[in-house]
Structure 1
Amino acid sequence: MSTSPLAPPDQGATDTGARPSLTVLAGFWPAATYAVARALLAADASLLLVRHDLTGVRDGHVHRVVRDRDGLLEDERVRLAHGCVSCTLREDVLPTLARLARHHPDRDLLLMLPEVVEPEAMAAACAHCLVDGATVTDLVHIDSYLTVVDMEHLLDGLASTDDLKTLGIQAADDDDRALADVIVRQIEYADTLVLWGRSRDGAYDTGRLSVLLARMAPWATQVQVDGEVLDAGVLTRRLRGTLRHRPETPGVLTRGLEGYPLGLHEPHAEQGVVSAVFRARRPFHPRRLHDVLETVNVEMIRSRGHLWLASQPETVLTWDFAGGGLSMGALGRWLTALPDHRWGDVSDHRRLAAALEWDPYYGDRHQHLVFIGLDVDAAGLHRALSACLLTDAELADGEEAWRDYDDPLAGCFPLIEPDPTRHRTDHEGESA
């Protein structure tokens, strides 16, 4: 039986007539993230902060803490059936949120994610995992997903080629994610970015990093916070009660297919930052694209999007570059390759986006990539990628001839029919 001060006198009594607000706080630099959490607590005596320490997760236990402005309310070590982050979400994070929401509907919640947890995984768990017959999104209103960015260390993190295992902070034994991958996914899923502190190289570089973040996540609101002078009331007004979270917004790698902006085309440098969008209707020649995969990313901090190869004309391929490594994977089939009765399997947004740009020959197939970096030659990048597209003569050969092209990526992206009961949040695919 729980001995938490938060446990109500009647454990079965719940109030379903009201839903508390949930703010989710992510960030790879826990000192900065926790400083923001403490400031929000200081401004609201009713706010409850939930944290999980994953130091022992691979040994099958986590440390859960719940506190408010006045102090510690829960401090428990929880044993898990399996030692992994997804198990932690299902077995303790979600039940804790559900319990607090049911028993204390008048107290809003602030969830501080461990530094290696990606907010998109948390959003999927809240929406799809049941706790006593209900999802967390049935019990709370998710107000915002905030990501705290430590401006002093941001560029080092984005440029890092280390993986989590090398750093000893992997979330599970089979966690092969790179540090930079985690950071970019935390940034890109957020609806609000909290820019904590300043660059060690001064005001100009701080401004440059702000521009870089605006190119990486143009959909996110930026809130700049001086780490030395912090007004908790002002910060609360800027971060809570904003209703910025839009649960229908797809993940970053599927945004372009769903008709959402994938990035900004700003080929002229602003404080050295360039963002270049590459779009084309023709397919890539697999050999020519393979030969430039390394060179087109050599100056990039981030590139992302989707593409189609002439030799694999049914498959939507993802492009996901960060931290010096490019990952590509199969995202499913192009609509033009699906029988009519399967079109209902995709979202209304995707069908509408495809209809608006449907081509009699290509159908919905196209290239949509975004490249973000410092002092990038956008024109040279465009020339390099354009040279990988099929020529007029190659187009005239038709799809049957394209399938026989020399393809170094053949067999890397098997098409797996989606399971409608499974919500996919991982990033499966082969590295190129």
Structure 2
Amino acid sequence: DGGANLSHTDETLVEMSNGCICCTLRDDLLDEVRRLALEGRFDYLLIESTGISEPLPVAATFDFRDEGGGSLSDVARLDTMVTVVDAVNLLNDFASHDFLRDRGETMGEADERTLVHLLTDQIEFADVVVLNKVRDAGPERTDAARKIIRSLNAEARIIETDHSDVPAEAILDTGLFDFEKAHEHPMWAKELYGFADHVPETDEYGVASFVYRARQPFHPEKVQELLNGDMPGVIRAKGHFWIATRPDWVAEFSLAGSLSSIAPLGQWWASVTEARRPDHDSAR
């Protein structure tokens, strides 16, 4: 965490190294953005984080206020979240079981993230996805990468290119970022609650999605066998479920690529007594 520093070049490029802009370098980022904004010489600022950073904490940094009450949102507007995807390697990486440490890319010794979950987080949160190296990837791999991206994020603009050659107007001043909905995963949430308004992936990309609902609890052994078994062709799955042996327990299932997990989230509201429920509407 220590030793974070800033280095300046003649091109008004500010490099922030040896730290994380979501935590150890957050104050430095606030100071630098405020300084650049007050100079009045710049219309746009491009913040490039490390390739293994998660986009949501970076975006949340704009809501952070320092001890003096200052915030990035006072001097700058978060406009667009951009994720660059390697068309050559996405298909193999998405099927990988590698942890980031297996690739020599971690945020520290305690970093237990997997490559596929990082890719999923970065794609699902993006307003714009730059699909790079399409010439090297060829039509088939590019098409497969496009389908994965679209199945994870139904709304993101996809720009296919080589050498990361992207026109400035495609990623600057787009007005695409919406923090109120960005903390959710728009693809599965919209499909889940029926608010999706886009061309079905079945028609456009050959990728289908569906939602399963049931009023009866699952048999614990049968659902475990299903969820821990092979699911060929499934790119992303997420949801809450109910098992008969633990009727009060909310379980969450998440699958991304070839990796899946089941975790407890707490109790169903139906099992919580009225006296223990919050009395403010926002929590109900």
Normalised to the residue count of structure 2, the TM-score between the two structures is 0.80
Give the aligned length. 280
**Is the CA contact (8 Å cut-off) linking 2:191 and 2:211 kept in structure 1?**
no
**Is the CA contact (8 Å cut-off) linking 2:44 and 2:172 kept in structure 1?**
no
Q: Which has the higher contact order (CA 8 A, sep 6+)?
A: 1
Q: Secondary structure at the match of 2:130?
A: strand
Structure 1, unaligned stretches of length 5 or more? Answer: 1-56, 352-432
Match of 2:174 in 1: 242
State whether structure 2 residue 94 is matched by structure 1 residue 158. Answer: yes
State the percentage of identical aligned residues. 28
Sort the Cα spacing of 1:100 and 1:163 in 2 relative to 1 into closer, same or farther, 3 A.
same
Deviation at 1:329, TM superposition (A): 2.9
Query: In 1, distance between residues paired with 2:116 and 2:28?
Result: 27
Query: In 1, distance between residues paired with 2:249 and 2:190?
Result: 15
State whether structure 2 residue 85 is matched by structure 1 residue 149. Answer: yes
**Is the CA contact (8 Å cut-off) linking 2:124 and 2:152 kept in structure 1?**
yes
Matched ranges for 1:393-432 at <5 A: none
Query: In 1, distance between residues paired with 2:258 and 2:95?
Result: 7
Q: Secondary structure at the match of 1:279?
A: coil
Match of 1:297 in 2: 231
Query: In 1, distance between residues paired with 2:196 and 2:263?
Result: 18
Match of 1:356 in 2: none
Q: Secondary structure at the match of 1:278?
A: coil
Match of 1:321 in 2: 255
Which of 211-220 and 240-249 deviates more? 211-220
Sort the Cα spacing of 1:173 and 1:120 in 2 relative to 1 into closer, same or farther, 3 A.
same
Sort the Cα spacing of 1:184 and 1:220 in 2 relative to 1 into closer, same or farther, 3 A.
same
Deviation at 1:112, TM superposition (A): 0.5
Match of 1:124 in 2: 60
Sort the Cα spacing of 1:224 and 1:324 in 2 relative to 1 into closer, same or farther, 3 A.
same
Deviation at 1:206, TM superposition (A): 1.5
Query: In 2, distance between residues paired with 1:295 and 1:258?
Result: 23
Match of 1:13 in 2: none
State whether structure 2 residue 197 is matched by structure 1 residue 197. Answer: no
Matched ranges for 1:159-308 at <5 A: 159-198=95-134, 200-227=136-163, 230=165, 235-249=167-181, 250-252=183-185, 255=189, 259=193, 273-308=207-242
Per-residue CA distance 1:168-187 (angstroms, 9 max, x = gap): 21102111000111111000
Q: Secondary structure at the match of 1:117?
A: coil
Structure 2, unaligned stretches of length 5 or more? Answer: none
Root-mean-square deviation over aligned CA pairs: 3.6
Question: Which residue identity does 2:75 align to in structure 1?
Answer: L
**Is the CA contact (8 Å cut-off) linking 2:36 and 2:42 kept in structure 1?**
no
Q: Secondary structure at the match of 1:297?
A: coil
Q: Secondary structure at the match of 1:206?
A: helix
Question: Which residue identity does 2:26 align to in structure 1?
Answer: R
Q: Secondary structure at the match of 2:56?
A: helix
Q: Secondary structure at the match of 1:109?
A: coil
Query: In 1, distance between residues paired with 2:245 and 2:90?
Result: 39
Per-residue CA distance 1:25-65 (angstroms, 9 max, x = gap): xxxxxxxxxxxxxxxxxxxxxxxxxxxxxxxx6xx445645
**Is the CA contact (8 Å cut-off) linking 1:163 and 1:178 kept in structure 2?**
yes
| Higher Rg of the two aligned structures | 1
Query: In 1, distance between residues paired with 2:249 and 2:33?
Result: 39
Query: In 2, distance between residues paired with 1:320 and 1:263?
Result: 24
Match of 2:37 in 1: 101
Sort the Cα spacing of 1:179 and 1:263 in 2 relative to 1 into closer, same or farther, 3 A.
farther
Higher strand content, 1 or 2: 1
Question: Which residue identity does 1:292 align to in structure 2?
Answer: L
